[in-house]
A and B are shown apart, each in its own frame.
Chain A
């Protein structure tokens, strides 16, 4: 059973449909206990950094999510804003407090590119990781600029290089939307489900 954390600010129909197509059962949760004990947990994310961070705190889920991701054997998938929330802060909302698992700040794309980045772009693993290169769908105005220590990473070019996904233990965090990235996206979801340990 995949537990999808329902922060109430994310549009998660596409994600549910993607799991349905893979014949996987899912449930929406706001329970710290379920987040702690589930085999698979997804932190989805569409929307604003501050609203999502506040929602996590109001639901009392901060500690359960942090502990789960720091316990590297638990399969956790963080998508788009979900990946950004792993960091300490975001330029999008200076006062909001991220989960702080990654000691970095999220920044807005620079001059010279259309913002938001909307569309398909190439994802390239930096080293030979378990996740393959491919083309993924992005919809973001903010991004992680450099890879955190201790995590595997993939890069993408958009007005310079940014980090399009990171992985550690059984946690995968991606700035792109695997649920909207066609057959390649489905293969990423399957790899995460099947329990690749990095």
Chain B
């Protein structure tokens, strides 16, 4: 049977891994190549590298970071952040990404999902959705959480699937970096509305939070703080998940 995946996430700014709270107040958390290898060694099932830099020059440096990480990594690598076109996606794949995650650009131009899926395949087209609770709905946010869109995350996930996405990376803005657990109602709403694999992101602080996410339909969980601050290794997390009855990869 398919295993539940544990995915450490590295936010990369100017060639360094950083971590913030609610997408703000970035602090240094290490070298991306070193950390990637370290997490792979601990048993990470996959890695996500998010480019949180803004300038064009920094983006070119990001390609170099991806190349260096790829040479070391024998597990899948997803890269996201600032991808605006199919050419951008192609450059990241050539640098060594296995999957490309698009966010703001997909909201602005949903045809990009279709174009990427046709060119590179659904398995390589990840749609990242950042959202927060707004009244009765989960409102989509773009531009690193700074722009609220008039779009419901649940409907958007279903549309992304119809357009050819292969996976959804669902981040709760309300929970990001707060260590208060994943947004379970949002996770359930999205996994009910969409038949793609969904990666839950934002808020993990314990194995119990991850178990909850898997119980609410997540296929994978993303976590950053919990691993960067070394309060738990990926291996420890997986052993505890296995003990709680979650099927994880063990070798």
Contacts and interface: CB of A to CB of B under 8 A. Distances in A.
B98 A14 contact: yes
Nearest to B220: A119
Contact of A135 (B71, B118, B251): B251
Interface in B59-87: 70-77
Contact of B75 (A21, A134, A182): A182
B2 to A, nearest CB: 5
A114 B121 contact: no
Interface in B93-109: 93-98
A20 interface: yes
Q: How large is the interface on B (under 10, 10 to 19, 20 to 34, 35 or more residues)?
A: 35 or more
B2 A184 contact: no
A119 B70 CA distance: 18
B121 A47 contact: yes
Nearest to A14: B98
Nearest to B123: A139
Given A11-B124, A137-B76, A17 B3 contact: no
B45 A186 contact: no
A48 B74 contact: no
Contact of A13 (B72, B96, B220): B96
A155 interface: no
B5 interface: yes
B46 to A, nearest CB: 8
A142 B94 CA distance: 24
Given A11-B124, A180-B98, A119 B74 contact: no
Interface of A: 11, 13-14, 17-18, 20-21, 46-48, 114-122, 134-135, 137-141, 157-158, 177, 179-186
